[in-house]
Amino acid sequence: MIAYQDTHCHLNLYQFDNDLEEVIHRAIQQGVDRILVPGIDLETSLRSVEICEKFEIVYAAVGVHPNNASSWDNTSIQRLRNLCTHPKVVAIGEIGLDYYRNYAEPEIQKKILVTQMELAMEFSKPVVIHNRNAFKDLMSILSNWVINLRLSGNPLSERPGVLHAFDGDLEIVNQAIELGFYLGVAGPVTFTNAEDRQNITKSIPLRAMIAETDAPYLAPHPFRGKRNEPAWVSLVVQKISMLKAQSLEEITTTLTHNGNHLFGWRSSD
Ligand SMILES: [Zn+2]
């Protein structure tokens, strides 16, 4: 059977309060056997951990999103550190820079990002990166961090993280791959007017790719505009299979291998 991983899915948000079990059940029916739920602040990070304790296929990432930078205070790092000791917390995220919404000053966003990347280093957990209109600053921060990982012999340098819902160009693809990062492909690649995105996705080597929904956001075609859910990662992966002109089985085998490597998951068979 074809198995999928949804490597970025916010089951911890209120949009899933009423039917979380059914949503996870539908994902399992579709062949999804791993779901990573990233936090966007302390409260949702805690909720990720709660959900992963209840459902075997769910794992958690913990972190503070740049749009929630104002929720950061001097207790945040210690509270994240406490969550990091949980065996199903496999990554730090989602963290990053957002100069589009710009809810916090760039300098503050950068400071919180770097602090959380130090936490990732401390616990040898990969980072799940959000970016909007900030690639220049972001890539220089990531690059410095990876250089540090390499110099200190941290095994994390082999699997530093993912640029989630990747929307950059080929130059950024190459920079990210050079640093060892994966690129997260999400629903927009399925949109009918997304030729540019599809061409870029075609050019991303499969060995550097993982798939995600970013649910409840970014629902793939033909559900664009609806609440997204993890079962629909299958639509993203089917699109990747079309673009790459490779069988669904070949594609899912490689994507699963990549997800297992990045998040330290054991193969589930
Ligand atoms: Zn997200």
How far, in Å, is the centroid of ligand 1 from the Cα of 161? 14
How far, in Å, is the centroid of ligand 1 from the Cα of 7? 10
Averaged confidence pLDDT in the chain: 97
How far, in Å, is the centroid of ligand 1 from the Cα of 151? 30
How far, in Å, is the centroid of ligand 1 from the Cα of 41? 11
Peptide bond into 94 cis (omega under 30): yes
Please report the pLDDT score of residue 269 as a whole number. Answer: 52
How far, in Å, is the centroid of ligand 1 from the Cα of 37? 9
Domain parsing of the chain, residue ranges: 7-263
Residues 132, 163 contacting (CB under 8 angstroms): no
The CATH topology of domain 7-263 is: TIM Barrel (3.20.20)
Please report the pLDDT score of residue 268 as a whole number. Answer: 64
How far, in Å, is the centroid of ligand 1 from the Cα of 218? 10
How far, in Å, is the centroid of ligand 1 from the Cα of 8? 6
Please report the pLDDT score of residue 266 as a whole number. Answer: 87
In this prediction, the residues of the chain whose per-residue pLDDT falls under 70 are 268-269
251-256, long-range: CB < 8 A, 24+ apart: 251/206, 252/2, 252/3, 252/4, 254/206, 254/207, 254/209, 255/4, 255/5, 255/206, 255/209, 255/210, 255/211, 256/3, 256/5, 256/34
How far, in Å, is the centroid of ligand 1 from the Cα of 60? 12
The reported pTM is: 0.97
Please report the pLDDT score of residue 267 as a whole number. Answer: 78
